[in-house]
Structure 1
Amino acid sequence: MTTTSDPTCSPPGDHGPRGTTGWRGLVLRLHFYAGLLVGPFVLVATATGVLYVLTPQLESWIYADQLRVPVTAQQRSLADQVHAAVATEPGGTLDAVRPAPEPGATTRVLFSDPGLDESERRTVFVDPGTGQVTGSLVSYGTSGVLPLRMTIDQLHRNLLLGEPGRLYSELAASWLWVVALGGLALWIARLRTRRAAGRAGLRDLFRPEPGATGRRRTLTRHGALGTWLLVGMLFLSATGLTWSTYAGATISELRASLGWSTPALDSGGGGGHGDHSGGAPAQAGSGGAAVGGVDSVLAIARAAGIDARSVEIALPAEPGAAWTVTEIQRSWPTQVDAVAIDAGSGAVVDQVRFADYPVMAKLARWGIDAHMGVLFGWVNQLLLVAFGLGLITTIVLGYRMWWRRRPTRGRGGRAVPRGQFRRASQPVGFVAVLAAVVVGWFAPLFGISLLAFLAVDGLLGRRARSRTAGGDPDVEEGELLDA
């Protein structure tokens, strides 16, 4: 449902170009060409996404020496653990501490480093029982993913090409839902034709046509599997756009204007623990805060209702700012409450509770975590892997249909002919143009790529007409109909 439909003239009851009228021919042409051109981007995004979902367990095994230690009856204070990490002179500025979330796990002491990329921090792992340092690695983001998963995440997000590479994933997310809904419309139209002939029922929407052979069998497998995957495609497209460069900015502005933004914790002092810019080398304190106070800050936060196992204690960014203690447990039930604690008095000066988030902010939090495969643990992982493999299969089936009946010289098979927009009724044409404008404003990369396709298609149509006027006998019939 996400890539190509059959690009050729089809028998009665099939959704091919011959005999298509109204909206159907227009949707078919859009579904076919968009799937053909965007399919590779969706395929890469899906394959790298499946790899990302599978990495947590692999990461736990590869980095076991840093992450796991023998369980001991006694534990060192957090302050002692931080001092042990600072003594290794990792470079950068002491930024935050993540106490061991369970027996046998290590404490993470995080340092900002101007030599690292945005959202990356140098992490020193400390045995909470002995105070010994077990290793040092670079971690990324709130999830604290380690180098293996960080590399796969960047591969999924930008093909390791940096900011310009994010255009590939935004292009895939922008078109995925369009191609999916277009494919569903074509599949339903085909089912209605079969039902009118007494050859199908509603359940055939979700299963391949029994007894079909050849290209028709591939088509029905493509359509049925796409129907099963439709909800997942819409969900991943919507959540994926929240991370994108251009559509993501539009989404953020829209959420802010409607009051749907995630509440921000006020730590005072004009600073924030999200600022990982460089500074002086790590000392026993940062921003005027004594590291020795970290244990009492955690105790105050626990008394204030910060009860998740996984928390991050961020040191004040500058003199006068507050400590912040934030829950970072993204699995269900979500725990992301946060409090700001005055460094001098120990009073809670601000707090943000997930229960008080706007509904849309909660949905955004859950959507992103489910997209990453962390919301429901291993169940979430299995669902995403199954979906990813199904989507890859659907894409391959779509390209197989195109390859078997692709337009070539000297053989049958033609691309979906031009002129579908002119054949559509005025209401259909108006709705199509209005939808393209609205979606193009919301997702600029979709609009730009659509305009580019129309421009190239128009040039190819003019070239085909010129060749026909010159008497070229090899011009395909499909090329004679301009857009």
Structure 2
Amino acid sequence: MTDITAPSRPGAAALAFDTYRAIWRWHFYAGLVAVPFMILLAVTGSLYLFKDEIDATVFAYRNTVAAEGAAPLSPSELAKRAVAAVPGATLSAYRVPAGPTASARVALATDGETTYVFLDPHTGRVLDTVAKRQEFNEVVRKIHSLEYFGVYANRLIEAIAGFAIILVASGFYLWWPRRQTGGIVTVRGTPAQRVFWRDLHAVTGAFAGILIAFLAITGLPWSGFWGGKLTEIATATGTGYPAALWDAVPTSGEHAEHAMDKVGWTMEASPMPMSDAMRMEPIGLDAAVEIAGDRGLAPGFEVTVPGDATGVYTAAVFPHELAKARTIHIDQYSGEPLVDVSYADYGSLAKLTELGINIHMGQEFGLANQLLMLGTCVAIVLASVAALAMWLKRRPAGRLGVPPYPTSRRVYGMLWGMAVVFGVLFPLSGLLIVAMVAFDLFVVRNVPALRRAFA
């Protein structure tokens, strides 16, 4: 028995060692591509977690007003004053004050873009005027999604989300205890030593890995390709928005994401109903706001005005408390609610996705949710900085310092199998993986100059 089993042990050990080297090499490449973007996402995401707090402090001059004893002005009067403050603009939407000390906000269409006008609802005084594209939280959101840099940059962020999951999975494998006593839950050495940065990177990643993967997955519904496919699945399976509610009303070819200033993920692809243009005079903004309020929409809801004679008033609110999320389309002539959708009406996939998004944005469980997501963002930055420091201390002078190739080719089948799985789950990430593996195997390995540089 000893003669039979003894030779198998070195072979198994060699395979395990080669697997470790292969996973380490993948982890390094994935980090090389993803880390700069992950730091950007963590910093901008941290800011966006506290958008309400930023609005209430830094931008209190336009978001907070003194509580007055007098009744507030009508929405139509506030809208009129907002239009007067921006000559040539047309009314697009009106946001109801969320409380007695909150300002009203009017969205105006101006030369193909949106301008926000903030007003004191009690006096009608204009507090501030800012283009939507220059509003602080909107700027942070667009940097977070790389929307400023075009559709291809946005697709890159989607691929990076998949890479973040690869980093977490491969990082767990590399961190897993293999007889060592340090670097599992404690950090050894001092900042002058490489082992300190290695342990800091490993321990931080291990403890925050699940949350990092959660952030990556729950951010994907907003992405172009992956999010679009998820919407298609939800629609095809009847687990998204309740499409049957639109069966009894005529609809236009326009979707909510293009007609509304703000819309939740589930409602983006829903069609816009049409008003009966053969009826009497339009009810007006004041009546639309009153109807929405009477039907119990949470304070702070926004009413989008009709874009033409067949358009509808749309009252919508997407508060921190998901149960209060609601959208009502109102006939602009009769005032009749044509479609009324709340979170309770969503399908199972939509509910799960919206819950994930709400936690991702730090909204579902109050301050505890914000602090948990902030801690995850800090962990991403800390693990990334530690990885950079560890790499700079490890790499040979003048070389990239890529971990060595595995000596056995047996592990490559496993790597390609992993690439296929990730490619199916995250297609854009899969394409980038294939490109990286092909470059590594067929270019770096066969070009001496590159092989030396990457050594």
The TM-score normalised by the length of structure 1 is: 0.76
| Conservation of the 8 A alpha-carbon contact between 2:184 and 2:199 | no
Q: State the SS of the aligned residue for 1:351.
A: strand
In the alignment, does 2:363 pair up with 1:380?
A: no
Match of 2:294 in 1: 303
In the alignment, does 2:157 pair up with 1:169?
A: yes
In the alignment, does 2:215 pair up with 1:236?
A: yes
> In 2, distance between residues paired with 1:421 and 1:452?
22
Q: Which moved more, 1:440-449 or 1:149-158?
A: 440-449
In the alignment, does 2:224 pair up with 1:245?
A: yes
2:403 partner amino acid: V
Within 5 Å, give how 1:69-468 maps onto structure 2.
69-73=65-69, 74-116=71-113, 121-139=114-132, 147-158=135-146, 160-188=148-176, 191-194=177-180, 199=181, 205-208=184-187, 214-263=193-242, 266=246, 268=250, 270=252, 274-275=257-258, 293-304=284-295, 306-329=296-319, 331-408=320-397, 415-419=402-406, 422-424=409-411, 430-457=413-440, 458-464=442-448
| Conservation of the 8 A alpha-carbon contact between 1:340 and 1:350 | yes
Give the Å deviation of 1:463: 1.9
| Conservation of the 8 A alpha-carbon contact between 1:38 and 1:171 | no
| Conservation of the 8 A alpha-carbon contact between 2:19 and 2:406 | no
Residues 274 and 32 of structure 1: CA distance in aligned 2, closer, same or farther (over 3 Å): closer
Q: State the SS of the aligned residue for 1:111.
A: strand
| Conservation of the 8 A alpha-carbon contact between 1:45 and 1:172 | no
| Conservation of the 8 A alpha-carbon contact between 1:273 and 1:316 | no
> In 2, distance between residues paired with 1:456 and 1:338?
49
> In 2, distance between residues paired with 1:53 and 1:421?
47
| Conservation of the 8 A alpha-carbon contact between 1:158 and 1:169 | yes
Match of 1:284 in 2: none
Q: Which moved more, 1:102-111 or 1:335-344?
A: 335-344
> In 2, distance between residues paired with 1:239 and 1:127?
37
> In 2, distance between residues paired with 1:416 and 1:126?
59
Q: Which moved more, 1:375-384 or 1:447-456?
A: 375-384
Match of 2:46 in 1: 50
| Conservation of the 8 A alpha-carbon contact between 2:323 and 2:344 | no
Q: State the SS of the aligned residue for 1:71.
A: coil
Match of 1:38 in 2: 34
Q: State the SS of the aligned residue for 1:223.
A: helix
Q: State the SS of the aligned residue for 1:21.
A: helix
> In 2, distance between residues paired with 1:453 and 1:128?
57
Q: State the SS of the aligned residue for 2:381.
A: helix
> In 1, distance between residues paired with 2:394 and 2:444?
20
| Conservation of the 8 A alpha-carbon contact between 1:106 and 1:127 | yes
Measured against aligned partners, the alpha-carbon deviations of 1:57-108 in whole angstroms (never above 9, x if no partner) come to 3333343332222211222222222222233344343222111111121211
Residues 34 and 354 of structure 1: CA distance in aligned 2, closer, same or farther (over 3 Å): same
Give the Å deviation of 1:128: 1.6
Residues 402 and 78 of structure 1: CA distance in aligned 2, closer, same or farther (over 3 Å): same
| Conservation of the 8 A alpha-carbon contact between 1:69 and 1:105 | yes
Q: State the SS of the aligned residue for 1:193.
A: coil
Unaligned runs of 5+ in 1: 1-16, 141-145, 278-286, 468-474
Give the Å deviation of 1:272: 5.8
| Conservation of the 8 A alpha-carbon contact between 1:29 and 1:420 | no
Q: Which moved more, 1:46-55 or 1:351-360?
A: 46-55
Give the Å deviation of 1:237: 0.8
> In 1, distance between residues paired with 2:388 and 2:19?
23
Residues 293 and 160 of structure 1: CA distance in aligned 2, closer, same or farther (over 3 Å): closer
| Conservation of the 8 A alpha-carbon contact between 1:41 and 1:168 | no
Measured against aligned partners, the alpha-carbon deviations of 1:196-222 in whole angstroms (never above 9, x if no partner) come to xxx58xxx8444469999433332222
Measured against aligned partners, the alpha-carbon deviations of 1:366-405 in whole angstroms (never above 9, x if no partner) come to 2223323333343333222222222111111122222212
> In 2, distance between residues paired with 1:315 and 1:71?
28
Measured against aligned partners, the alpha-carbon deviations of 1:137-168 in whole angstroms (never above 9, x if no partner) come to 2236xxxxx61222222222217423333244
| Conservation of the 8 A alpha-carbon contact between 2:83 and 2:108 | no
| Conservation of the 8 A alpha-carbon contact between 2:105 and 2:118 | yes
Residues 345 and 107 of structure 1: CA distance in aligned 2, closer, same or farther (over 3 Å): same
The TM-score normalised by the length of structure 2 is: 0.80
2:38 partner amino acid: V
Q: Percent identity?
A: 27
1:193 partner amino acid: R
2:445 partner amino acid: G
Measured against aligned partners, the alpha-carbon deviations of 1:401-446 in whole angstroms (never above 9, x if no partner) come to 222121347x9x964222467142xxxx555423312422443331
> In 1, distance between residues paired with 2:213 and 2:368?
20
